[in-house]
Structure 1
Amino acid sequence: MARKAAPESHHLRPLRADDAAAVLRVFETSPGMDRQGEVRDLEAASAYVNLLSSGPEHRGWAIAGDDDALIGLVAIDVDESNRSGAVTYWMGEPDRGRGLTRRAVATIADWALSEDGLDLDRLDLEHVAGDRHAGNVARAAGFLQEGTLRERLLAPDGGREDVLIYGRLADDPLPIVARLVMRPA
């Protein structure tokens, strides 16, 4: 008799005010989070969560495990007048490298570009050129690289870093990656 696959324990859910402590923990324990904002205490973490769940222009989704605790995040900054949005994401250190981020970004992008979601026409995603993992996430989630913003960001060493920009359109082919379940609030 064939063994039944275990049910998926990771899922997406809307960001909540009580996620602030988990956000702070990720910022304190995961390298590379300085590009995601300045979160150094619980007050700043609460402000960060409030910003990403503050209404129609900001949509934040927690990547959560079976205990429903936030381990990562995908957010969309919506530009309603242009029917577009910018995707940002991050994953806490212990859960990096497991394919959850690409699955989460693909799921949220599908939703944002669908009539049942935000009904956007376009999504943008940017990352520092030297971060090959971020490029892997973007491509796996169906984004196509469109260009380079030369010397866009100031690097930690005082130099400049290029940023790669990707786009995904509502009528682009769907990526071949497993999706996560989206749970309501």
Structure 2
Amino acid sequence: MRPGAALLRLTLRSSTDGHLLARVIEREGTAFVLDYGDPRVVAEASRLVLQGGFKVRWQDREETAVAGSPSMLRQLALHFAYQGHLVFVDEPDFPRRAVAPARDASSDAGPPTLYPDDPSGHDMDTEILSREDLARRAVRRFHQAATEEVERDDQPVDDEPVEAMVEWEETEEVPFPSPPNRGR
């Protein structure tokens, strides 16, 4: 792990259609596999992280991965790249953290939590959130739901069927002319 890097993220994608296969996070030298993506690849990545024992070639020499090794993320990336997967290693940046107020050490904020950025499933990025962030998000969702409910209440709701509301006027039937007979 690079000096000063708090979090590294390894993303594995299919080389055929680009869909997410697995995501591995390395925090302070310890790698762990997130539990979403292709279940087979997630299971294989979890096994490799926990047991090690696989070999990779790096800078013209062969290395054997050892569980808990500080180079585990790099070795996993090489292993899956040799299998033909698309491999992305990045250090997530959180620009809003720079402007966030300093935390009070005595507050009961709890440990950070990994939470999907987009719960709809379109983008399976993860974002580190504290319990304060989760509480703010819950309050924001509550207010959005309340606003939507008020907007729905402003819409007129009629219990009567539409047919009962229509007033029928007396109409007279007009004969519809038939088309001319051509050559028959």
Choose between structure 1 and 2: higher strand proportion: 1
TM over 0.5: no
Q: Which has the higher contact order (CA 8 A, sep 6+)?
A: 1
- The interval holding the TM-score normalised by the smaller chain is under 0.3
> Greater Rg, structure 1 or structure 2?
2
TM-score normalised by the chain length of structure 2:
0.26
